[in-house]
């Protein structure tokens, strides 16, 4: 999409969000939904703020962000390196691909019990689950990218004397950048999803923990609603930042 | 061959050919077993600074032959010599322009041309200077910062020529370089190429399926016959340049090549 219409699209998107929020607020005020189990947005924010100080929300957000960034970076580095290596070096591909295909269908959350046994309840187990969420889409996209380099570019680079690692770095990797970028965005979204789920099950801080703890300790439904909104907002903002980074990286030559 | 006789060799300047193709044969393994003979006993001597075109039906082995000269593909038999040295790979003086420009989309026009000079023992700044000079030669110095997708087909093909020239090759190998361009751009590019060829004096092997294009450009036209690819005719085009498509002798050559192709 051209950048000229990007602002316009954003305005429409914002309008949609505001309309739904207004309808929600209206529905609770008119008594169409029961505010004790589903308060309106204004009431939810007000009572959540009364129940917990802002620092608690920020603290839990910071923990979730820290875990997702850490696990994502690990998954992105491993996925990129292994995906490129498996696609570029035939022998390594034969060795690694069946292994990846075998592990990929396992939902990352199924690893939680093992993660707790191996890494305990602390941060490493969260990193591990997030790592799994990021790794598979990224390794797949890196592999796809490097195995679908336009053969005429390979030929052209050979005619200028490139081979081996020089060709990998100067042709294979840049040519794979658009595929890799897609994998990074999918991986980021998945990382976020699995982290919150992991925090719901086994954590003592983070947004997922916060909302689950509120339910099990008989706390306020408002905090749960605000927590859910914060999870969505944090994912939205960070994904937009990643998209902007990708546009700066490859947008000019690749388009989009 | 008389060319190798002592009198001939000493009398004519540059008598040793720039490119010597000797008994080149190429077969490909066919899926499901067997082999397909694509080139059979090709023999050609191409003098330095000659502009030679190869014309033939699609599938007759033109690209295969060019790739063998370029060192991108190995012959199944025979050999190619460049300035007397046997071709074992790229980088022996061959510059290549591909049918689909094959520019690197993530590099700007200038960076693509600099890439062409990457194997030369020059400092980065010298490579950039050379690339700017070449962009000027192809008339695109103002587009140095553009990416391939921001350029028209004709501009892309000019950049591809500049990139091939950046290697300062003795030989320019061109595989239907203007095949994808519209007629007007194509004629402009032909004039441009002749201008560059006259300015830089390269040995050019130019593949085309357009008889008119071959006649407009070349000193010599080779007709490649298919199944298997072999040299059917070898015609010297001794017309002065610039050439006119309405010239009587131009049309006689046209008829001669056409009859050779359709027989
Ligand atoms: N790598 C390959 N493997 C098998 N057959 C090939 C290969 N490359 C080319 N050929 C065959 O060789 C013949 C000549 O191809 P090519 O040189 O591309 O022809 P042209 O450039 O004259 O159109 C075609 O029949 C083509 O199918
Ligand atoms: Mg061809």
C-alpha–C-alpha distance, residues B237 and B187, integer Å: 19
- Distance in Å, CA B224 to ligand 2 centroid: 12
Q: Kindly compute the dihedral angle of the four CA atoms of residues A35, A41, A47, A48, in this order, to the nearest 10 degrees.
A: 120
Structural domains present in chain A: 49-254 (1.10.3720.10)
Degrees (nearest 5) of the Cα angle A11, A15, A19?
175
Instruction: Give A102's pLDDT tier (boundaries 50, 70, 90).
Output: very high
Q: Which pLDDT does position B193 carry in this prediction? A: 95
Task: Please list every residue in chain B whose beta carbon sits closer than 8 Å to the beta carbon of residue A160.
Answer: 90, 115-116, 118-119, 163, 167
B110 lines ligand 1 (CB under 6 A): no
Give pLDDT tens digits for A229-256: 999 999 999 999 999 999 999 999 998 6
Q: Which pLDDT does position B145 carry in this prediction? A: 97
Q: Which residues fall within 8 angstroms of residue B142, CB to CB, at 6 or more apart?
A: none
**Burial annotation A119-142 (CB, 10 A radius, 16+ → b, else e):** eeeeeebbbbbbbbbbbbbbbbbb
Q: Which pLDDT does position B15 carry in this prediction? A: 67
Q: Which pLDDT does position B258 carry in this prediction? A: 93
CATH code reported for the domain at B2-93+169-262: 3.40.50.300
Give pLDDT tens digits for A222-233: 999 999 999 999
Give the start-end residues of each E strand in chain A: none
Q: What is the mean pLDDT of residues A144-160?
A: 97
Query: Regarding predicted confidence, which is higher, B128 or A3?
Result: B128
Q: Where are the domains of chain B?
A: 2-93+169-262
Percent residues over pLDDT 70 in chain A: 98
**pLDDT surpassing 60 at residue A3:** no
Ordered mean pLDDT values, 10 residues apiece, chain B (263 residues): 38 72 96 92 97 95 97 97 96 93 97 95 96 95 97 95 95 95 92 92 95 96 95 96 94 94 80
Interhelix angle for B153-166 vs B109-116, to 10°? 30
Its pTM stands at 0.90
Interface of B with A (CB under 8 A): 70, 72, 90-91, 94-96, 98, 100, 102-107, 115-116, 118-119, 147-149, 163, 167
Residue written as token pair 């008829």: B255
Q: What is the mean pLDDT of residues A159-181?
A: 97
């Amino acid at each position: 999409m051209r950048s000229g219409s990007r602002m316009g699209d954003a305005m429409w998107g914002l309008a949609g969000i505001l309309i739904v929020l207004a309808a929600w607020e209206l529905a609770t005020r008119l008594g169409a939904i029961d505010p004790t189990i589903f308060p309106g947005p204004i009431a939810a924010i007000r009572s959540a703020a009364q129940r917990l100080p802002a620092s608690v929300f920020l603290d839990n957000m910071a923990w979730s962000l820290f875990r997702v960034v850490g696990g994502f970076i690990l998954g992105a580095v491993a996925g990129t390196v292994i995906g490129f290596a498996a696609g570029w070096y035939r022998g390594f591909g034969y060795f690694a691909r069946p292994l990846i295909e075998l592990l990929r269908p396992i939902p990352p959350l199924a690893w939680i019990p093992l993660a707790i046994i191996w890494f305990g309840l602390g941060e490493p187990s969260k990193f591990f689950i997030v790592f799994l969420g990021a790794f598979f889409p990224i390794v797949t996209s890196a592999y796809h990218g490097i195995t679908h380099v336009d053969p005429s570019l390979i030929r052209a680079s050979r005619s200028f004397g490139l081979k081996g690692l020089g060709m990998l770095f100067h042709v294979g990797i840049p040519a794979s950048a658009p595929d890799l970028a897609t994998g990074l965005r999918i991986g980021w979204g998945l990382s976020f999803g699995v982290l919150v789920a992991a925090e719901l099950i086994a954590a003592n801080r983070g947004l997922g923990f916060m909302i689950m703890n509120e339910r099990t300790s008989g706390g306020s439904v408002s905090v749960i609603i605000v927590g859910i909104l914060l999870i969505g907002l944090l994912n939205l903002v960070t994904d937009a930042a990643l998209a902007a980074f990708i546009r700066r990286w490859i947008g000019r030559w690749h388009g989009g | 061959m008389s060319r190798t006789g002592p009198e001939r060799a000493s009398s004519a300047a540059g008598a040793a050919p720039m490119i010597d193709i000797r008994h080149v044969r190429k077969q490909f393994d066919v899926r499901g077993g067997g082999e397909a003979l694509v080139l059979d006993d090709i023999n050609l001597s191409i003098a330095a600074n000659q502009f030679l075109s190869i014309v033939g039906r699609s599938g007759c082995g033109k690209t295969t032959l060019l790739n063998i000269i370029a060192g991108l593909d190995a012959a199944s038999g025979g050999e190619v010599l460049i300035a007397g040295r046997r071709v074992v790979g790229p980088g022996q003086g061959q510059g290549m322009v591909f049918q689909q420009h094959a520019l690197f989309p993530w590099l700007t026009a200038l960076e693509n041309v600099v890439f062409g000079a990457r194997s030369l023992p020059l400092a980065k700044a010298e490579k950039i200077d050379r690339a700017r000079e070449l962009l000027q030669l192809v008339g695109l110095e103002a587009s140095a910062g553009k990416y391939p997708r921001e350029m028209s087909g004709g501009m892309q093909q000019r950049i591809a020529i500049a990139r091939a020239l950046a290697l300062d090759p003795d030989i320019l190998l061109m595989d239907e370089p203007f095949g994808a361009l519209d007629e007007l751009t194509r004629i402009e590019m032909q004039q441009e190429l002749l201008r560059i060829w006259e300015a830089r004096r390269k040995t050019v092997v130019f593949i085309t399926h357009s008889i008119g294009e071959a006649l407009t450009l070349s000193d010599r036209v080779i007709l490649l016959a298919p199944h298997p690819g072999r040299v059917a005719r070898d015609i010297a085009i001794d017309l002065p340049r610039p050439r006119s498509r309405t010239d009587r002798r131009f049309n006689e050559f046209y008829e001669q090549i056409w009859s050779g192709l359709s027989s």
